Structure 1
Amino acid sequence: MNTHAVAQGEGPIQYGFIGLLIANTLLYPYSRFVYENVVGFILGRQVFFVNAIFMLVVKLFTMALCWCLAIFIAPIGLLYLYFRNSK
């Protein structure tokens, strides 16, 4: 299979990179779970009234950050769920 990047590049996409993309995609919900719990712990049940465009940009940024770092953040959520449900 000769997969080439859409962007400018010197060669085909490496299989390790494709594996990382798939792993981040599969682990994203657990990463988001950790993020939402941490933010909920810090902010509590506060309601903020802000500009919708600003909130959309912040939401997209946090989603991209959670997806990019999912391989590092998700194990925390998986361990938490494992210990919470094993009792």
Structure 2
Amino acid sequence: MHPVLVKTFGGLSRAYYIRQFLFGLIFPAFTLFMMTRGRSGPTDVGLPLALLFALNTLLYPYARFVYESAVGFVMGNNVFFVNAFLMLFVKAITMLLCWAFAIFIAPIGLIYLYFHHSKAEQQRN
């Protein structure tokens, strides 16, 4: 595999990527389910929408990595005690936004991972 691909797309741990990927599958699955249950009958998804769903789902773990890194930087080690339902609602909204805009957010994470792993490789050598 090409070193650039390993440094970028292989930059997240396998467990993290799989976990986030499975969470990312929730949104296209729900959308496709709703599209097939309309009153006027099933709606044709079409190739462009299917490609967008697939791309966003594959890139979602990298977008989520960017979001979690930014929130971790801003919040630090602080702990907040909030209503569990409110927290789950906010988490679901942030997950949806990360999935919907993964095509725009994920490149930031991929660039970061490339430079991070390049720097780590230089320090090892």
TM-score range, shorter chain: 0.7 to 0.9
- Normalised to the residue count of structure 1, the TM-score between the two structures is 0.88
Code of the residue aligned with 2:95 in structure 1: it is M
Aligned to 1:22: 54
Residues in 2 aligned to 1:31 and 1:20: alpha-carbon distance in whole angstroms = 15
Give unpaired runs (5+ residues) of structure 1: none
- Within a 5 Å distance, the mapping from 1:1-87 to structure 2 comes to 5-6=35-36, 7=38, 8=40, 12-87=44-119
List per-residue Cα deviations over 1:26-73 (Å, max 9, x = no partner). Answer: 000000000001111111111000000000100100000100000000
- Structure with more of its chain in helix, by fraction: 2
Once the 2 structures are TM-superposed, how far is the Cα of residue 12 of structure 1 from its aligned partner?
2.2
Give unpaired runs (5+ residues) of structure 2: 1-34, 120-125
- Normalised to the residue count of structure 2, the TM-score between the two structures is 0.62
* Aligned residue pair count: 83
- Computed over aligned residues only, the root mean square deviation of the Cα atoms, in angstroms, reads 1.7
Code of the residue aligned with 2:76 in structure 1: it is G
